[in-house]
Amino acid sequence: MDREAVEKLQRAGLKVEQPELLRVAIQRDEQKKVMRLRGEVPVMGNEGLMLVSLEPVTKLWTGSAVPPDLSRTPPPQYQPFFLLLESTAANYCAAVGKPETDDEFERLFRQLRRRPDGDDAHPLFSYLQGAVRLYLSLRDVSQAEFEAVVNRLSQSARWHSTHVGSTNYYREVLHGLFGA
């Protein structure tokens, strides 16, 4: 958790006690092309949009909590984390006007787990990373919990994949989430 980021978001009127209601806003350039996030994370709440400087993922891990088995429905305390990540993915797909493939979602979540502060050419990676940085700034999450959540998302994308090019994860899980 990053108390400085929490205070800054609260002063801006954002409801930090419900991170699942916050959004990482999709940014576009002058040609309306979705841009990769660099540095600051654009956070959208009921009170509007604000750019926030957040620490890297690896600096935000807190404690040594061991996650429960997430192979089934996640326990209620993990649902806001899942919702923030999945709504970010859904909003990205809505912004670009097409769903990502199941294979690409799986790859991006795997990359996020392996290299949480890394870089990827796909713009969606930076938004997923921004959502993780936002959530970890608001809640205490251990490295093991982070890895378990992101691993579960990667597995979910893989489970929904039926063939090369399938978009079942988007259609069956993400579609309909918060504006998608």
pLDDT digits (tens, 9 = 90+) for 130-172: 999 999 999 999 999 999 999 999 999 998 888 988 898 888 8
Domain that holds residue 33: 3-174
Residue 13 lies in a domain: yes
Residue 54 lies in a domain: yes
Residue 180 lies in a domain: no
Full-prediction pTM beyond 0.75? yes
Under 8 Å between Cβ of 52 and 9: yes
**pLDDT at residue 120 in the model:** 96
Under 8 Å between Cβ of 151 and 93: no
Residue 102 lies in a domain: yes
pLDDT digits (tens, 9 = 90+) for 29-83: 999 899 999 889 999 876 678 899 999 999 999 999 999 999 888 899 999 999 9
Q: DSSP assignment, residue 76?
A: G
- Spatial CA neighbour of 89 closest among 74, 102, 70, 79: 102
Residue 179 lies in a domain: no
Q: Please state the domain count of the chain.
A: 1
